[in-house]
Structure 1
Amino acid sequence: IAPILIAKLIISDHAYDKHTAPLLRCYLTNYEQRNAGRPISGRIYHTIRMSKLPKNLALTLSLVSLILCHIIVHGFSLRENSDVSCGANPEGTHPAVDALRGGAAYSAVVEDIRPQTKAVILDFLASCAGKNTSREFHIQGWRWHFMSLMRDSERLERLAKFLLYDIEERGNSGLIALEQAVDYLVNFNMAGLHRVESNMFVQWLRDNLCNANVIEEFCGDDGNAVTDAFRDVIDKVNDHRVKSSQIGKELYERAKAASDESTTLHQRQERLNDIVKLSLQLSARLRLMRVLQETLVVPAIALVVPSGNQKSFNNRVLLNLGILESRVHLVGMHDAVWESGIESEKNKFEKEIPYVARVMIERWRKSLYDPKAGMLDYGIDKIS
């Protein structure tokens, strides 16, 4: 109980170390939720709460309590099954992602980025928030396209698993469906997103977030430090894109090999197993990218880039994709948003997408989307 009490003391007194408090709060939440039947004594807590601890002692106790809380929480988690987690919420997505929705809030939970880089950007976002009270993010197509790709990756994994356990019955028809499904995911959906990112979006990000003079004029911060941090993040976004493309290439090669008529049953099973693993790798990388982008990139654009500039870029993206391709992507984005179950995301979709386009989605699904992406749902009626 002692480390939990100390944690409560430090958190409620606004810990001297602002990075330690969120971790303590996370462990504290886990501990109390896992042990709802063991309330902490309010009297003991009150006694410690009223103690006038010196600063150095409080810092020392915070570190000790952090270690002990870690041991306690993980000790209980090994013995008890629980869905309670500081990294999840009722809607099933990362809190850092759900909190944003257009740059309205910031989170310190960012993976795959150096702590110093993360700290510089988060400090910039927090200290300069008052410079732009609207903080609206308008390039929603980028976010929704990402959600669509994540959804399709999970659908491909499901299809490959289905065929892996039912390959003898499904035969060539299932493998042809698999090849068509991978072709859509890799050569259409992913290719469309990556084409926009590599040809337009990455450079647009650099132009708007890596200009030290603009940053200094906007907020008065050290422009070089902030732009260097954003440059690291954009490089990481680009690196993730390249690695995702490599996974996509491997997926397509495995799907082609699996559908080859000269391939033996054992070889087909090996290829299908490879596709399951690669789909999982792709999904994991996409989730990591989404947390990175929405936690650091989305709020930065919303804060720094004027709405008119963002909307102008949106129009350029639509011209780059073309009318027919944009319609197919729109159906996939719609389905990803609705399957997410996030009401705020649905409301944003209805606000940003013109009424006529929304009315046409079901027609475009039948005439354009299903002929391309429909094979991702092959055999879904057989999956319990």
Structure 2
Amino acid sequence: MRKSLRLMVAAATGAVLFATGGIVATPAFAADGSVDPAGIGLTDLFIPPSGSDKIPFKVKVSNPYAKGADKPGKVHVQFLKTDETDANAHAGTAADIPVVNATPAPATTLEVAASIPVSSSDKPGKWKYRLGYTENGVTTAPTYLGWNEITIATATRVTSANVDPDPVKLKKGDEVDVFANFKLEKYGDEKVTGVRFEHASSGDYYSLNSGLEADDSYHGSASFDDQAPTGSWQLKVNVTRGSKSYSFVKGFSVDGFTKAAKAKSKITIAVSPSKVKKGKSVKIYGKVYRGTSKWGAWSKKILKLYFKKKGTKTWKFVGYVGANSTGKYSKTVKPKYDGYWRLQATSTSATNSSLSPYKLVDVR
């Protein structure tokens, strides 16, 4: 069943939701810079499928206010990517230790947020990171602790995504089955949490099942009714891995159903006689046709008869004239004035309207 929901559509390869605590590091920095490196735990260590991401963690700093509440030190982070040496060390980030208003300065242990940037262009494999600390006012480079090795896994991938048919051609009064398939390349605890077809702007969507086959392939379908909006659609696959979520999309298009072309129509007209005494009768007759590639009789068509007095501009409706099964019609009238006569075939759902030529009758 198609549903409507106004929403923001994710970018082509994914929207990422970050959770705190991606890495939990608990070395304890003493006031003199000594560190207890025990108690380090790591999670969510993988390359993002697109764009840039962060590997967040916490650093425990012991007694950061040894020099005073208004003189906290600073935590420093460095990291190495796969196959890099110390000379290539990159700077990570760490939040500043906040200034506090307390006398005397508190003796406490704080958790400082820090992170290592990672992007889709990075290589998975063995990475390293290390931590340092400088006291307030120290401008020289910090003395870092030893390197800690972490394993960064391959990015989650959705491959071989396909929508069939593409484009989808809607059918009037009927439904069209649209099939989706893809392969989820798993390198961890990835799970498909939602699959659907979404229209690019209207908010309309069709929900699909989210179950994978035993080989991590996916096959699902939805039936598009003739009221589905046309234009750009996308197959959207939502995947979670650890504490993060990604969206993968595959675009396709939907075309409206083709309306049958209307047939043309035409009317011939003759009058006899074309000159008549006032009060005498004139016969108006001819044939009405309809057709596409060739003309055929428009059987039983009801025509409208019009008259325009000579020297005026207005056509006036006179009455109806019925055609027989072969499209022929005739009508006897007694004209009072010189003027023109013509007939009209009104349109139907299958045939366009038309007007006959006009004929002059001279009344003496």
The reply to whether TM is greater than 0.5 is no
Determine which structure has greater relative contact order: mean sequence separation of CA pairs < 8 Å that are 6+ residues apart, divided by chain length.
Answer: 1
Determine which structure has the larger strand proportion and give its number: 2
TM-score relative to the length of structure 2: 0.20
User: Which of the two has higher C-alpha Rg?
Assistant: 2
